[in-house]
Amino acid sequence: MAKRGNSVIGIDLGKRAYKAVLLNKKSETRYALSSFASHEVPEEVMTADDVAQHIKQLLKDLGGYTKSCALAVSEPGSLLRIIEQPNTPPALLRNALRYNGLSMLNQDCKDFVLDVASISNGISGANGT
């Protein structure tokens, strides 16, 4: 079994700036911020090569090295909704939102790209979705 790394890089590719953080694992539940970097990006549409060069420069400024990376790409049209829901399998909840979004979210969801994730609300034995 492969050993998990002790560090991770997080990258946010925003519309106006690219940001990155390097986190090191301190314990099973704690991480420490080791480094961060940020770069303004031009407003004009860039080619894939331009994006790659900006990311390479961002990682160079960040310093450090790890194989683990998380990437976020922002989209102005995206929405995040947190709802309280009994413990429900994700596939069932996706379908329920797609077909009954109007009753669950007061919004028609048939044309949306949906995803769901369980989050803990801090109360033992209870889950929010």
Give the global pTM: 0.60
pLDDT at residue 19 above 70?
yes
On whether both 51 and 17 belong to a single domain, the answer is yes
On whether both 22 and 56 belong to a single domain, the answer is yes
DSSP 8-state assignment for residue 68: -
Residue predicted with more confidence, 77 or 33: 33
Confidence of residue 1 (pLDDT cuts 50, 70, 90): very low
* Residue 81 falls inside a structural domain: no
* Residue 106 falls inside a structural domain: yes
DSSP 8-state assignment for residue 3: P
Range of the domain at 105: 90-128
Rg (CA), the chain: 19
Ranges of beta strands (E only) in the chain are 7-13, 17-25, 31-40, 69-73, 119-120, 127-128
On whether both 40 and 68 belong to a single domain, the answer is yes
DSSP 8-state assignment for residue 54: H
CATH number at residue 25: 3.30.420.40
* Residue 43 falls inside a structural domain: yes
* Residue 1 falls inside a structural domain: no
Number of domains in the chain: 2
On whether both 66 and 97 belong to a single domain, the answer is no
Confidence of residue 37 (pLDDT cuts 50, 70, 90): very high
Burial class (CB in 10 A: 0-12, 13-18, 19+), 32: exposed
pLDDT average, residue stretch 93-120: 79
On whether both 63 and 22 belong to a single domain, the answer is yes
* Residue 82 falls inside a structural domain: no
Confidence of residue 129 (pLDDT cuts 50, 70, 90): very low
Question: What is the distance between the alpha carbons of residues 41 and 86, in angstroms, rounded to a whole number?
Answer: 42
* Residue 45 falls inside a structural domain: yes
